[in-house]
Amino acid sequence: SKIKVGNMVELLAEIKDKNGFVYKPEGRMWITAYPNGAVEKARAAYSPTELAGMAAGVESGFESGVVALYQKCPHLGCRVPECVSSQWFECPCHGSQFNRVGEKRGGPAPRGMDRFAMSVADGVLTVDTGTIVQGPPIGTNTTGQEAEGPHCIGAGGDH
């Protein structure tokens, strides 16, 4: 189903207020900011349905774009929480780690976090939760974001 997540300016403010991560239970998804400076790299790695949100900052003059990430780990389907100290997503089940935009950085997951198709019209983000886009392949790192503090979960394989 298509979910109107909200006004981009308000959404970006909410992401800041919530330490970088906004959870939307009605869509079983995380919304995080996608840095404008990484959009050129993203164009080579992502499909048009993903880029619609990621490049919204550049194309519509917002301070950043956004990604809509499916909450399930692509490894075995656990719900992946945010780790505010590292500013990554860290799966408690088997230790998979993903940067703030869902690109795989460690652990057994076969790819980055799956994401939803997005569109931005008149400054409003709509996410199509009926269209799951498979996460980016291992090695995709468009933002270069390293962990920004201690990890919440031990790296790889800890149960």
Residue 116 is part of a domain; what is its CATH number? Answer: 2.102.10.10
80 pLDDT more than 80: yes
> Each residue of 134-150: pLDDT tens digit?
999 999 999 999 999 99
Supply the pLDDT for residue 21: 96
Side-by-side strand order, sheet with 124-133: 2-7, 124-133, 115-121, 64-70, 29-35, 22-24
In a domain, 156, yes or no: no
Cα 90 from Cα 156, distance rounded (Å): 10
Look up the pTM and report it: 0.93
How would residue 159 be classed by pLDDT, with cut points 50, 70 and 90?
A: very low
Q: State residue 153's pLDDT score.
A: 86
Q: The tokens of 142 are what? A: 């468009």
For 19-71, how does the pLDDT look when each residue is reduced to its tens digit (9 = 90+)?
A: 999 999 999 999 999 999 999 999 999 999 899 999 999 999 899 999 999 99
- Compute the average pLDDT of residues 101-114: 98
Overall domain count for the chain: 1
Range of the domain at 59: 2-133
Residue 125 within any structural domain of the chain: yes
79: how many CB neighbours lie within 10 A of its CB? 13
143 assigned to some structural domain: no
Q: Determine the pLDDT at residue 155.
A: 54
